[in-house]
Chains A and B, each alone.
Chain A
Amino acid sequence: MSVRTKIVWEYAPAPESTDHVRLREDYGLFIGGEFRAPLDGRREPTINPATEEPIAQVAWAGEADLRAAVEAARGAQSAWAALPGRERGKYLFRIARLIQERARELAVVETMDGGKPLRESRDVDVPLAAAHFFHYAGWADKLSYGVGGRSVAPMGVVGQIVPWNFPLLMAAWKLAPALACGNTAILKPAETTPLTALLLAEIIQEAELPAGVVAIVPGDGATGAALVRSEGIDKFAFTGSTGVGRDIQAALAGKKIGLTLELGGKSANIVFEDAALDQAVEGIVNGIFFNQGHVCCAGSRLFIQESVADEVVTKLWDRMGRLRVGDPLDKNTDVGAINSAEQLERIEALVAAGEEEGAVRRSIACDVPERGYWFAPTLLTEVSPAHRVAVEEIFGPVVSVLTFRTQAEAIEKANNSRYGLAAGIWTDKGAKAFEVASALQAGVIWQNTYNHFDPTAAFGGYKESGFGREGGPAGLRPYLRVS
């Protein structure tokens, strides 16, 4: 008999190479079609949250810089709007193609700057960003068809503020429809993740977009607040926290300035007893651990029908044990680094509050690097609807499990939230899915899937999750004056 020795099989490290990345040591502000040194702004390093190492120096815009950006945008606007839609479309197609050409580089930089796994930046963020430009490029010469045949005009100059969770993708969601509609735009990326927006500025240069049509002005909350208070902007679009959204709405009150807000969420993911449970578990995992839970529509309130609650929690915990947490650049990593020290602190504080209130916490065992910001995927059971972890947005890899007995109870509990961004429904019964979907107060509802995005679909919230829609023909409306 030959002796068989057990062959051990572990995945070897598979880090994506960073050799091809062409990052500069420092980036200016992108205003009037060129990178400029800040007039009254300053320079700040941007940090890789997985290593805490600085990646590049980035200029933050001051008030004079913002004035210059508005002036450039204002100056470029009428000529841009006067172009035939088909010509504007050509520029957007060009940007979309250039994003595809530099896809690998954009994915690596997104992962370095934000901490998300390369698997996601490569397969989700970057392809979807290109898809948004392609989609709205196609709309540019068909705008009035998107609003029922009425006549349209652009809003003018738009200010756009995007968050740190999907830096490039959110920039694409904002810029593509704005430009297609004939607006010029001033985009402020988030303070912790400005790099892919700046690479997008390079792409915009390469696409030879007329100077001034797009400005990219990095900065922190203060820069955003100053942008919102700038004179000469006709419309704002903001994606971020509900608190900041409120502040923006207050600042614009009484002014004739358009506003759309896409804010926080505490979305319900509802698993009925007749669901395909293994796929529901995948959907739960994708709903809450995708992008470390830094997703405004994350399925952070998990409602499971009591009859299958134990089974689903067992399966979920088993599945969570297979999540690979670590180096975001490794192609086999499922869960990467938390975006910033500040966010990590917030997650830790909320989970601690949850435990104090009586929730039972289970976090998976995982070896994470010594440096960087990490939080192990966490399951909270014994959660009551009144607990903070069932009410407040954690924005991290933490799922709160609640149960329900009947369909009516599921709907009532799901709607019992000040938010209303998204929801998931898991059932094999088509009629039930439609009934529940029409009763839920949420802007996006997924059936038997979660966190799937498509440029043709409208995205937006109910209640304190904001107003206005992005994506699809509905996403044109906020960027147009319709008469």
Chain B
Amino acid sequence: MIRRLPHVDRVGVEERAAALGKRSIKTTAKQQGIRLAISMIDLTTLEGADTPGKVRHLCAKAVCPAPELPEIPSCAAICVYPSLAGVASEALRGTGVKTAAVSAGFPAGQVPLDVKLRDTEDAVSLGADEIDMVISREAFLAGDDARVQEEIVRVREACGDAHLKVILETSELGSYDHVRHASMLAMEAGADFIKTSTGKSSAGATPGVCLVMLEAIRDYAHRTGRQVGFKAAGGVSTSKAALHRLVLAKETLGDDWLTPDLLRIGASSVLNDLLMQYAKTQTGRYGRSEDFSKE
């Protein structure tokens, strides 16, 4: 079937995304928004220096981000490298917080397909509930859509019951047209979520990129009836940025999507900023970063 490539106008999309950044989120809306954002966080550590100890600490933080604020919900998931998925899964058992593992040759994706599949199968067997795979930008930029899609389909199969998030690494795709096109490819191939970035490249979940992907999700849902989730990752480091992403989702997809089942924020440092902003709505004064544990 020959389908028209959906165009995206850069100026227009960035204007709309910036305009939604001006929504005034105050008082109760701010409190609820912060709680919602925290419940959507995939608390992430993706360093060569990650150890089981560090991952266990982070898991405890995800389950109970601020013991002194009982109304603050748990984060949605912990996101780690596959080798630490077992540690995370063990630490999170029975808490409702999911284990997510990055996969498919994260972050560059420059490994053969069989390695990507093995990567995925290993992570799932170690207890990962969710797989965050990267697409092959090499294939996408060379125009080989079929291979991009084939790889997603195969990784999807390797996931079994685990949820699949497909990372587009938008800053490497070169244009909003490509971001939209890659979003459609990933959804057609069976992605449960589409995700902006690895967090390892120059730019991540910019407002414009988020809006383009959210619009693709909306159009795909309209055409097929299937609700695909969205994960903003990379560069969402302040409460303001997190709430801006929620506004983009609310006003593009509607309230149906405002749940951790369909919306995630991949980040680490944003959690404490959200907690500080939340505490400020309670106490009326800004706290210090030391008020909350780093991990």
Contacts and interface: CB of A to CB of B under 8 A. Distances in A.
B255 A9 contact: yes
A332 B6 contact: no
Interface stretch (A213-221, A274-282, A344-352): A274-282
A259 B39 CA distance: 63
B260 to A, nearest CB: 7
A331 B24 contact: yes
Contacts of A322: 251
A283 B15 CA distance: 11
Contacts of A274: 7
A279 B24 contact: no
B215 A9 contact: no
Contacts of A9: 29, 32-33, 36, 246, 250, 255, 258
Chain A interface, >50% SS class: loop
Given A276-B12, A448-B9, A4 B26 contact: no
Interface of B: 4, 6-9, 11-13, 15-16, 22-30, 32-33, 35-36, 39, 63, 73-74, 94-96, 215, 218, 222, 246, 250-251, 255, 258-260
A275 B29 CA distance: 36
Nearest to A448: B9
A134 to B, nearest CB: 23
A160 B218 CA distance: 49
Contacts, number: 90
Nearest to B30: A12
B218 to A, nearest CB: 8
A429 to B, nearest CB: 10
A268 to B, nearest CB: 19
A12 B27 contact: yes
B23 A332 contact: yes
B32 A8 contact: yes
Contacts of B4: 273
Given A1-B94, A2-B74, A279-B9, A14 B26 contact: yes
9 contacts: A7-B73, A8-B255, A11-B23, A12-B25, A12-B30, A275-B7, A276-B13, A278-B6, A279-B11
A230 interface: no
B7 A448 contact: no
Nearest to A123: B22
A282 B29 contact: no
Interface in A275-328: 275-280, 282-283, 314, 318, 322
Contact of B39 (A4, A123, A279, A282): A4
A11 B25 contact: yes
A11 B8 CA distance: 29
A280 B8 CA distance: 10
A318 B15 CA distance: 19
A370 interface: no
Q: Which of A273, A276, A314, A322 has the most CB of B within 10 A?
A: A276
Contacts of A3: 96
Contacts of B33: 9
Contacts of A279: 8-9, 11-13, 16
A4 B97 CA distance: 10
Shortest 7 CB-CB contacts between residues of A and residues of B:
A279-B12, A14-B24, A276-B9, A12-B29, A331-B24, A279-B9, A276-B7
A6 interface: yes
A273 B11 CA distance: 19
A277 B12 CA distance: 10
A449 interface: yes
A10 interface: yes
Interface in A243-285: 273-280, 282-283
Interface string A1-43: 1111011111110100000000000000000000000000000
Contacts of B94: 1
Contact of A11 (B29, B73, B95, B218): B29
A428 B25 CA distance: 35
A135 interface: no
Given A279-B13, A448-B11, A449-B11, A4 B73 contact: yes
A370 B72 CA distance: 38
B167 to A, nearest CB: 23
Given A4-B260, A7-B73, A278 B24 contact: no
B258 A278 contact: no
Contacts of B35: 7
